[in-house]
Amino acid sequence: MLGWQHGGAGLDHPALQPPTAMKAFCSRANPTTGAMEWEEEDEDYDYHQEIARSSYADMLHDKDRNEKYYSGIRAAVCRVKERGQKAIVLDIGTGTGLLSMMAAKAGADFCFAVEVFKPMADVAVKIIDKNGFSNKIKVINKHSTEVTVGPDGDMSCRANILVTELFDTELIGEGALPSYEHAHKYLVQEECEAVPHRATVYAQLVESERMWAWNKLLPIHVSLEGDSDKVIYPTKDMQLCAGSPCVYDIQLNQVNRNHFTALTMVTKMFSVDFSKAVSSSPAQHTVQVQATGSGQAHVLISWWDMEMDPEGSIRCTMAPYWAHPTPNNMQWRDHWMQCVYFLPQKLTVQEGEYLWISAIHDDYSLWYKMQRNSDECKAEVLSDRPLCSCQAHLMCNRQRFGELNDQQRNNAYIKALKTILRPDTVCMTVSDGSLLSIFAHLLGAAQVYSLEISAVSRRVMQKILAANELMGKMIISEKSPEQLTPVDLDNNQISVLIGEPFFTTSLLPWHNLYFWYARTYLAKHLSREFTVLPQSATLLAIAVEFEDLWRIRAPCRECEGFDVNLMDEMIQNSLNFHECHEAEPHPLWEYSCRALTDPCQMLTFDFRHEVPEQSISSSGSMQLLRSGTCHGIVLWMDYSLTNDITVTTGLAKFHSQTGYCEWNPHNKQGVYFLRLEALQGTSTNKQDSIGYSVTFHPKTGELTLDFQQSL
C-alpha cells in the first residue's frame, strides 16, 4: 500500500501527488514484529499495480455515471456551438481520458486533458490514440494548478467547457474546491459551461445504537460468579470526545433498516455551482429542520447528487434506496458511497421540535453540528471540527470500536477465561488496546501483566484502568515481547498467556498471527504447564459469487463506445495473477455474496507450540456445490479459545442449502479475486472445483495463495 494514494478519475489533489522523482514509500504490515514498516521502492517499482488496485475499474463499470457524464458533455458542447463559439474543453483529472474522448466525439473542437499521475497519463495517451482522438486531445501531465495558458503555455487559450471528476464519497475530499477555484481564475472563461453543473449535499438525522457503537467505547458488562456483575466504564474524556475527524464512508444500502430510525426528513444542506467562481474558503451552511420522530440523535447520514446540466434534467445521485428516485433500479458503485457523521454527543429529540443542523467544510473535509436554537448556530464553529481528545480514536477504527462493544463476543472470552483462570494464575495479555487484561483481573487472576507495544494504546489503557479504579491492580508494560526480562515480571513465570488477537497494524486476517510470534518470543517466561488462549487459529476459505464487488476487478473492454481495453491489459499484466496474486481486505458485510462451496479449512496454527522454522503448506480442492459465477475466494481466521469455544472473524451465519452468508461486521475479510477472465461471467456447475495451494512462511509471516478454477 503506497504512502500516498489516489482516487476518483484523477489525482488532482496536492496531497495526493506522488513524489516527483517517482519513488514511493510503501507501508506493509510485518506479522513477525507486529509493526507497520515503510519500504522505499526502487525506480523499477510498478506503479501500475496501484492503478490496478484503485477504483478505475469500478468507475468504468459505473454505467449510470458514464451515461450521465456523456449526456451532460453532449449538452454542454451543443450549447457552446449554438452560441457560435468553438468548444474548448478542459478536463481536470482525466484518468483514462474517457471524459475527454466523450467531449471529442460530441463535437468539441479541442480538449486539454490534465492528469498529474504520470503512469496514468501515459495510459491515457495510449487509450486516446487507440480511439483515434490524439489530434483533438492533448494530455498534460501536470497538476492543474501548474498548468499555464498562452502561446507558449500548456493550453493555447482558456477553455469554455470545464469537465471534471474530482469527487469522492464526501464530495470535496479530493480537493475539488481548490481545483475549481484555481481553474476559474486562470484556466477557463467567465460563465463557462461546467459538467457537472452543480452538486448538492443532503443529510438526515437518525437514531442508531448500532452505528453509535462504532464511535465510542460503551460500558462493558463482565458476569462474575453467582449473579454479580461488574461494569467497565469508559473514561470521561472518552464520553465527551468529539471523535475522529475522518468520515465513515459506507455502503449504507447494506445497513439493516431495523438498525436505525430516521428522526428528520432528508434535508438539502448546500449546493455548489461549478459553472461560476468557486471558493475553497471555510464555510458554514445552517438549515432548520423539524423532528419527525422522538429518540436519541446519534448520527447524521449524508450523501450528494450532481446535475450535469443547468436545468437539472440529467442527475446522478448517491442517495440510499429509501431516498432514491428509482430504488428498484439503482446503480451499484464503490468509488462513491454514503457518509456517516457522528455527533459529538447523543442528544434526546422530541417529535415536532425544531433543530438547526450545520454543515461546515474547509477546503478538503466536511463535518456537521446540531443545535437546538438558531443563536448557537451564529457562533463561530469552524474551529469546532471534530478532533479526538481522548486518544482512543487514534487507537481504534470504527470496526474496532464495534468489536470492543460487542457484548456477545466479550461473553465468549469471559466464558473461556473462567475455565482456565485460577487464584494463583499469573496472566499476561498480548494485544493492542484489549480489555482481556481487565477481564482476567476481575475474574480472579493473582497477577495480570499487559503488553501494550503501542504508546497510544498504553496511554488509553492506563486511563481506562484509572477510570475504573484499577490502577496498580495490573501492570502495563511498554516493552515488546522479545525485550521482556524476568525483572519486568517480578521473576514470575507466566501460567496463562491470552490475546484476542488484535493488533492495530494488521491489514489482513492472518497478520494478527503476530500473537504466535509474541508467544514464541515469550517462551522462556512461560511456566512448564502454561495455558494459551486462544489455543489455535484456523485459516478458512470459501468460494463465492459476489452480487457486485466483482466489478472492482472485472475487465471493461468497452465503455460508452470507447475502447478502454488497455486498462484491462495493464491491470492483468501488473497484478500478474499467475505468480504474485494477493488477497485484499474488504468488510464483506457491506458486499452481498453467495457461497458456491462450503467453508474449507486451509491451515491450522497451534499456539501451544512455538512458530516452526519450516513452512506450513496445504493443497487440495474445494468442490463447487452450487451453480453460479465464481468471482473469488474469501479467507478469514477462526480462533479456538478452548476446545469448545470459538470466535470468528469471518462467517457469522451460513446456510448450506442456499449458500447464504452473513459476515462478522467487526472485521475485514481477505478476498482473493480470481483471474480477470473468470470475472467476465463464466458460469460454474456442481461438477467444477477450485484447486488451492496455501503456504505460510514463518520467516516473513506471510501467506502464498494460489486458487485455480478446474472445469
What does 484-550 look like in DSSP terms, one character per residue? --GGGGTTPPEEEEE-----TT--SGGGGGHHHHHHHHTGGGEEEEEEEES-EEEEEEEEEEESSGG
Give the closest residue to 414 by CA, choosing from 650, 607, 606, 225: 225
Joined grid coordinates for residue 314: 440529467
CB-based contacts of 68: which residues, under 8 Å, 6+ apart?
Answer: 308, 314, 315, 316
Sheet hosting strand 689-697, strand order edge to edge: 616-623, 689-697, 702-710
Beta strands 354-361 and 366-371: pairing type?
antiparallel
Joined grid coordinates for residue 196: 457537472
Joined grid coordinates for residue 211: 452505528
Which residue among the candidates 165, 181, 403, 545 is catalytic per the annotation? 165
The terminus-to-terminus CA distance of the chain in angstroms comes to 34
CB-based contacts of 595: which residues, under 8 Å, 6+ apart?
Answer: 542, 543, 544, 626, 654, 659, 660, 661
| 29 DSSP β-pair partners | 36
Joined grid coordinates for residue 387: 478532533
CB-based contacts of 682: which residues, under 8 Å, 6+ apart?
Answer: 629
Give the total residue count for the chain. 711
3-state secondary structure of 458: helix
Beta strands 683-684 and 669-673: pairing type?
unpaired
Q: How far apart (Å, rounded) are the C-alpha atoms in residues 475 and 320?
A: 48
Which residue among the candidates 174, 500, 545, 702 is catalytic per the annotation? 174
Joined grid coordinates for residue 246: 475522518
Rounded to 10 deg, the angle between the 98-105 and 118-130 helix axes is 30
Q: Are 297 and 346 within 8 A, CB to CB?
A: yes
Asked if 174 is an active-site residue, the reply is: yes
Joined grid coordinates for residue 257: 433498516
Residue 290, number of CB atoms within 10 A of its CB: 12
Query: Helix-strand-coil percent breakdown of the chain, rounded to 5?
Result: 25, 35, 40
Give the E-state strand segments of 547-592 in sequence order: 558-559, 562-563, 584-586
Give the closest residue to 689 by CA, choosing from 545, 547, 543: 543
Q: Are 684 and 596 within 8 A, CB to CB?
A: yes
Q: How far apart (Å, rounded) are the C-alpha atoms in residues 77 and 181?
A: 22
Asked if 37 is an active-site residue, the reply is: no
Active site positions, annotated:
165, 174
